[in-house]
Amino acid sequence: MSGLDEEELSLSASTLAALQSFLTEQQAQKDKFDELEKKAQERFDATKAAEEENEDEVTMELFKEDWQLSQFWYSNETSEWLSRQLLHKATNDTKIAVLSAPSAFAKLRTMFPPSLPNLKKNTYLLEYDPRFAVFGSQFLKYDFNEPTKLPAHLRNTFDIILLDPPFLSEECHLKSAMTARWLLKEDGSGQAVICTGAKMLEFVPRLYKNCKVTTYRPAHSGGLANDFRCFSTFETEEMKWEEE
């Protein structure tokens, strides 16, 4: 290459300075965006942590029973017992739905094993009472009169559900069972626990495959006098079917 060619290809001092200025400006802009992204993530993390902290402070003591909605909270012992059954074979991928039983849901949230961090986001309360929207993304507004009016992506994705239909009527139980079938996995692995009055003793087992009444008797914190029974489609060490 001739000296003339080398001279033509070399950059002048002013051009080099302009190029360096451009590169410096580009790096400064990138650094600024990186800093803004970092601050945004920090704000998001702080907000999320605050929301989770607020949710963790929610207890059933904050909610009075609304008898017009047929609300009767479980005793602490019953809520714990039901939660143990829901968690009896839980893995980090297990999805749990609690229908019309907010007192059991509130207790369940306190019993997730630390070794299964995904359980919290995979557990939902389906409830008509809007007060329970304080549970954030875990709350789904649910009306048994519209049994499948739920987010489409949840269909046939749940491993286990707990139901306590609000009314002792065949219509209410039938529609609640429709919701259960819509939610549970289609491969037959889905399981259900159903709590309701003894009045429905013969009707409930007809709505769920392999469903039988158990020996457990749910109790309520307000001393509800009605004879309550627990049904299930499976057994655990604690939950056994009554002998026929």
Q: What is the pLDDT of residues 106-126, one digit of tens each?
A: 999 999 999 999 999 999 999
Residues in the chain: 244
Q: What is the pLDDT of residues 204-225, one digit of tens each?
A: 999 999 999 999 999 998 766 6
**How far, in whole angstroms, is CA 113 from its chain's centroid?**
15
- Choose among 239, 161, 173, 236: nearest CA to 202: 173
Low-confidence ranges of the chain (pLDDT < 50): 1-8, 33, 50-51
**Neighbour-count burial of 2, counting CB atoms closer than 10 A to its CB (0-12 exposed, 13-18 middle, 19+ buried):** exposed
Please, what is the Cα angle at 98 between 95 and 102, to 5 degrees? 140
* Confidence (pTM): 0.76
pLDDT (0 to 100) of residue 45: 58
